[in-house]
């Protein structure tokens, strides 16, 4: 495929793009954390029932961000963004590796580990200092809430900025999905929307995803190897 700089490109990434940075996908963990199914710690009900457990789980995920770095796939998407006039990167990931690599036109549809949110007053803070990464809860600076929650879209909650996402996918010329299994909706449904739009759909993943037949091109392998090679090729043809 030849990619003109005036083509509208939307990229969707999932946990697979961060795997080579050392952040495990759910599946690589067998979906289990200390005998709890991840689906059971990542819900609003769990936060109500056992906030301490949920807090401990997310503090571990949040502290891990200090030990990992963006990889060549995150970096290649920054080059792609600067080559194109119209671009949007939608990530299901809650890590901060795309932004640390330098991506700017970026939507974190499932929230961000870096941030904490107040359920009483709506305040959202970037919370990666030492004082925010301990086992005790973090208090709200704007109101009396003693317990900020992770700024994460949990199971049963609505992903963020879906209007902008549907607009961009509904108008794109090229749709590229990287490191995502096609199991988690509504993210998994974006491919069929892009397909209906008439976009050229490209998939890059270690295993063939659930919805593999919808792709016009599917590249099987490691994101860290395939994404830089493909981006270079698309920009030079
Ligand atoms: P997923 O459903 O997006 O699946 C991950 C996919 O990546 C798998 O199909 C796997 O074959 C593929 N993959 C693994 N290593 C790869 C590599 N090196 N190169 C290319 N592809 C690779 O992810 P999931 O783990 O099932 O998580 C679902 C949800 O959980 C996400 O939507 C996200 O919100 C959250 N999550 C986020 C992170 C993160 O922020 N890094 C990590 C785990 C889970
Ligand atoms: Zn507050």
100 Cα to the center of ligand 1, angstroms: 18
Q: Check if 21 has its Cβ closer than 6 Å to any atom of ligand 1.
A: no
Residues with CB under 5 A from ligand 2 (ion): 118, 120-121, 123, 140, 142-143, 145
Q: What is the pLDDT of residues 143-154, one digit of tens each?
A: 999 999 999 999
pLDDT tens-digit readout, 6-58: 999 999 999 999 999 999 998 787 888 878 888 889 999 999 999 999 999 99
DSSP character at residue 134: S
Report pLDDT for 199. Answer: 98
Note whether 1-23+70-110+159-237 and 26-67+113-152 share their fold: no
> For the chain, where are the E strands, in sequence order?
8-13, 32-33, 36-37, 86-91, 106-108, 111-117, 124-126, 149-152, 174-178, 200-205, 217-220
Instruction: Report the nearest atom of ligand 1 relative to the CA of 18.
Output: 41
Q: Is the pLDDT of residue 59 over 90?
A: yes
Full-model pTM: 0.96
Q: Give the start-to-end residue ranges of the domains of the chain.
A: 1-23+70-110+159-237, 26-67+113-152
Question: How confident is the model over 205-223, as pLDDT tens digits?
Answer: 999 998 899 999 999 999 9
Residues 6+ apart with CB under 8 A from 177: 11, 12, 13, 14, 190, 191, 201, 202, 203, 204, 205, 209, 215
pLDDT value for 173: 98
Quickly name the fold that domain 26-67+113-152 has.
SIR2/SIRT2 'Small Domain' (3.30.1600)
Q: What is the CATH class of 1-23+70-110+159-237?
A: alpha beta
């Amino acid at each position: 495929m030849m990619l003109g700089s005036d083509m509208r490109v939307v990229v969707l990434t999932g946990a697979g793009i961060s795997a080579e940075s050392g952040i495990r996908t759910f599946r690589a963990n067998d979906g289990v954390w200390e005998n709890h199914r991840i689906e059971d710690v990542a819900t609003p009900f769990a936060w109500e029932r056992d906030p301490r457990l949920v807090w401990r789980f997310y503090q571990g995920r949040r502290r891990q961000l200090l030990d990992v770095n963006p990889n060549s796939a995150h970096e290649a998407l920054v080059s792609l963004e600067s080559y194109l006039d119209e671009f949007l990167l939608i990530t299901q990931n809650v890590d901060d590796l795309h932004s640390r690599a330098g991506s700017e036109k970026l939507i974190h549809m499932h929230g961000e580990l870096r941030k904490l949110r107040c359920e009483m007053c709506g305040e959202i803070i970037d919370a990666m200092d030492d004082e925010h990464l301990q086992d005790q809860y973090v208090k709200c600076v704007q109101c009396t809430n003693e317990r900020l929650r992770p700024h994460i879209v949990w199971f049963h909650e609505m992903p963020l900025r879906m209007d902008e996402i549907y607009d961009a996918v509904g108008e794109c010329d090229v749709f590229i999905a990287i490191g995502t299994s096609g199991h988690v909706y509504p993210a998994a449904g974006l491919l069929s929307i892009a397909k209906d739009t008439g976009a050229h759909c490209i998939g890059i993943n270690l295993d063939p995803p659930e919805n593999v037949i919808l792709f016009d091109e599917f590249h099987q392998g490691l994101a860290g190897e395939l994404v830089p090679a493909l981006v270079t090729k698309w920009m030079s043809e």
